[in-house]
Amino acid sequence: MAPLLLQFGSCATITRGTTEAFVVNSKPVGADVRLSSGEICKTPCVLKKKRKGSFVVFITKEGYEPVEVQVTNQVAGAGAVGIAGNVVLGGLIGAVVDASSGAMLKLVPNPMEVELEPLFMREEAPKQSTLEQSTSLQSEQPLRGDGVEEMFGFREGIVHEK
C-alpha cells in the first residue's frame, strides 16, 4: 500500500512539473528583455522558469520609456486540484512535495503583455517665444481686410482721435 501512496504522492509535481513557459510580448516588438535572474531575450520570447520563483523583468527599446514588472506566483487552479488529489488519496508526503517544489504554483503575470510608451509622449512640448506664438496665431487665424485692426485689438467702426 505504501508504494501505491508514493506513486500518487505528488500529483501536481507529476502532472504540471516544476517549471513553466514564461512569455513576454511587447508593442512594438523587438524590445530587449532582461530578468533579474540573468536571462535575456528580445520580444516576443519564451523562457523556461521555475514556478516557485519570483523575479523582476526589465524591458527596454531605444526611443521608448523603460518598463519594469515584478513577476510573482500564486496557486494555480490545477495546482489546487493536485493538492486535493493528494489529500483524497492520503498522500500527505505528496502534498508536501508539491508545496515545496512549487508545482502547484503559476507565474503571474504570464503571458506578460507590455505596450511601450514613446519617449516624446512624456516630454513637454518646448515653449514658444512670444514672437513665435504671435506668428503662429497669425497664420492660423484668417484676418479680415488688411488685418491691422484685429492684430492690435481695434474693433471696426470705432475711430480713435485726439
Q: What is the dihedral of CA 69, 74, 79, 85, to 10 degrees?
A: 170
CA distance 38 to 23: 16
And the C-alpha cell for 37? 535572474
In this prediction, residue 101 carries a pLDDT of: 62
pTM of the model: 0.57
Boundaries of every domain in the chain: 2-118
Q: What is the pLDDT along the chain (162 residues), one digit of tens a residue?
A: 444 434 444 454 455 688 999 999 999 999 999 999 999 999 999 999 999 889 999 999 999 999 999 999 998 875 445 455 545 554 554 555 555 566 789 999 999 999 999 998 655 555 555 555 555 555 554 544 555 545 555 444 444 455
Q: How far apart are CA 79 and CA 81, in angstroms?
A: 5
Which phi and psi angles does 52 have, rounded to 5°?
A: -80, -20
What CATH number matches the domain at 2-118, 3.40.1360, 2.60.40, 1.10.275, 3.90.1200? Answer: 2.60.40
